[in-house]
Amino acid sequence: MPRFVWFAIICLMLTGCAYGRKVDYPHSFPSMPSVPPQSVEVRVSDARPYVVSGNKKGTFVGLVRGSYYIPYDVNTRSGRPLASDLQAALIGGFEREDVAARVADVGAKAASKPGVLLLDVSIQEWKSEAAIGEILTYSLRAELIDQTGQQLAVAHARGSDRIYDYTQAGRNALASLLAQPTVVQALGGDVVINTAQGEPVQSEPVRKAAAELFIPRFGRDGVY
């Protein structure tokens, strides 16, 4: 068989491994360093610039590179937006600790009633990238709000870590957000003095752990 035929077959195999990959995040139930004594309403919104601009769909979660480092989109396995998947994961995490949790009402600015907390999470960044190695880069912002609309706590979690298991990587990212000291205090029932009232949303890029990707300059693109 001619060499170019073998070469074409290999390229197709590599492309097939890359194209169509999907990731399951609804089961990335995070651990809870502090179990709230009250119910929790959860809202997750997607503020990733390339999603807000319409450059990428809300189901986009990263890139995988096949032959010639050509990037292919990775999307949620559920077919729902990433925000919905992470919202389901957070609710599942609370329920596993026997905490009543539900999806917050659309447009809610406060918890629906006394004894309930609103956990409002904004996805500033969430992208996996796979070439030779695989990493997940994320930036999350959380607010805890009571029934009066008072902001009890605000916290950020940012990181870029190697992926061994995508579901576990998602679990670790969400757990790091819930483990922030102000969130732990507020979920535990303590009154947190909020020194970040009116704080602008973080928008600076996260430093990416690219040591294991080995992506040459010609293989990079505008998303990363």
Mean residue pLDDT across the chain: 82
CB 123 within 8 A of CB 136: no
Say which DSSP state 205 is in: P
The region of weakest confidence among 6-20, 71-85, 190-204 is 6-20
Domain 3-219 has CATH 3.40.50: yes
Confidence class for position 203, pLDDT limits 50, 70, 90: low
Q: Kindly report, residue by residue over 128-166, the tens digit of the pLDDT.
A: 998 778 899 999 999 999 999 999 999 999 999 999 999
User: What does the alpha-carbon distance between residue 204 and residue 196 come to, in Å, rounded to a whole number?
Assistant: 17
Ordered by start, the domain boundaries in the chain are 3-219
DSSP per-residue codes, 100-120: -EEEPPTT-SS-SSTTEEEEE
User: What does the alpha-carbon distance between residue 49 and residue 52 come to, in Å, rounded to a whole number?
Assistant: 5
Q: Which long-range contacts (CB under 8 A, 24 or more apart) does 208-211 make?
A: 208/129, 208/135, 208/137, 208/160, 209/135, 209/137, 209/160, 209/161, 209/162, 210/135, 211/133
pLDDT at 221: 42
Say which DSSP state 95 is in: H
- How many CB atoms lie under 10 A from the CB of residue 200? 6
User: What does the alpha-carbon distance between residue 139 and residue 122 come to, in Å, rounded to a whole number?
Assistant: 9
Q: Which amino acid is at 108?
A: A
Of residues 176, 164, 166, the one with CA closest to residue 206 = 176
Angle at CA of residue 114, ends 96 and 195, nearest 5°: 85
- How many CB atoms lie under 10 A from the CB of residue 11? 14
